[in-house]
Structure 1
Amino acid sequence: MNRGKRRLQSRITPYAPMGTDRLEALQSFHEEDPDDAFTRFALAREHLKRGHPDEALAHFEALVEEQPGYTGTYYHLGKLYARLGRPEDAKATYRAGVEECEEQGATKDLSELRDALMQAEGVGLG
């Protein structure tokens, strides 16, 4: 587990129950350290979980732009694009993620992104 994730979990778990407090806590943590990729990723996921796709999209897009090495973002951003009816953006995001994962040797994320790209392109579907 990376250092940012441990720090965030230790700060959220005892003090921020699920619900509004969790979102507020994540926003506060992001304001304190806007360069912490895990916090921004968690904030995007929380917005998505609450039905705020535009807010989630803004955070995912910023992560890909500002911290392209945070490879888990590509999958979630691509899925969100697909959900929003933007299949070409989804495929482009998966492709960019595949390239980044290949450069980093991030095999787990690479496998997920390749599968998502194949599905988005209709490969192997019946």
Structure 2
Amino acid sequence: MNTKRLDQLFAFYKEDPSDPFVIYGIATEYASVEKWEEAIKYYEILLKEHETYTGTYYHAAYAYAENGQSDKAEETYKTGLKICQQEKDHHAFKELQSAYTNFQLEEDDEW
């Protein structure tokens, strides 16, 4: 995690706490060092307040899965796929669909 970058992101966040790009950046910084609870905190802000920010779903679902929250991960994948279709974000849809398929295969392997 780049502490300087995180400090700068928090300064931007203080100026405009509604900027989804800044919130996403904070979540990503925490995820980069597997601080899942902190990452999830910011991903959840995006999921609630910026539902159409399609890039969130891939990373939020992954964070949930890594934090042992498989049910939330699956729900996030499914919701994200619907949002990507609504937003006509084909690229995000394909990436999310692939990640969801891999998630399902990994879940099956755990049985």
Is TM more than 0.5 here? yes
Unaligned runs of 5+ in 1: 1-17
Could you tell me which amino acid in structure 2 is paired with residue 80 of structure 1?
A
Q: State the aligned residue count.
A: 108
Residue 20 of structure 1 corresponds to which residue in structure 2?
Answer: 3
Which aligned runs of 4 or more in structure 1 are off by greater than 4 angstroms? none
Cα distance in 2 for residues equivalent to 1:19 and 1:107: 31
Residue 37 of structure 1 corresponds to which residue in structure 2?
Answer: 20
8 Å Cα contact 2:37-2:67 kept in structure 1? no
Cα distance in 2 for residues equivalent to 1:89 and 1:66: 17
Could you tell me which amino acid in structure 2 is paired with residue 99 of structure 1?
K
> What percentage of aligned pairs have identical amino acids?
33
Cα distance in 1 for residues equivalent to 2:94 and 2:38: 27
Residue 113 of structure 1 corresponds to which residue in structure 2?
Answer: 96
Cα distance in 2 for residues equivalent to 1:105 and 1:37: 19
Q: Which has the higher helix share?
A: 2
Which has the higher Rg, Structure 1 or Structure 2?
Answer: 1
Could you tell me which amino acid in structure 1 is paired with residue 6 of structure 2?
L
Unaligned runs of 5+ in 2: none
Could you tell me which amino acid in structure 2 is paired with residue 109 of structure 1?
A
Give the RMSD, CA atoms, in angstroms: 1.9
Distance 1:114 1:51, change over 3 A: closer
Cα distance in 1 for residues equivalent to 2:98 and 2:91: 11
SS at 1:121 equivalent: helix
**1:23-67: CA deviation from partner (whole Å, max 9, x where unpaired):** 110001011011110011001111122342211110001101100
Residue 61 of structure 1 corresponds to which residue in structure 2?
Answer: 44
Cα distance in 2 for residues equivalent to 1:72 and 1:65: 14
Q: What pairs with 1:36-115 in structure 2 (closer than 5 Å)?
A: 36-115=19-98
> Taking structure 1 as the reference length, what is the TM-score of the superposition?
0.79
Cα distance in 2 for residues equivalent to 1:102 and 1:19: 34
Cα distance in 2 for residues equivalent to 1:120 and 1:51: 18
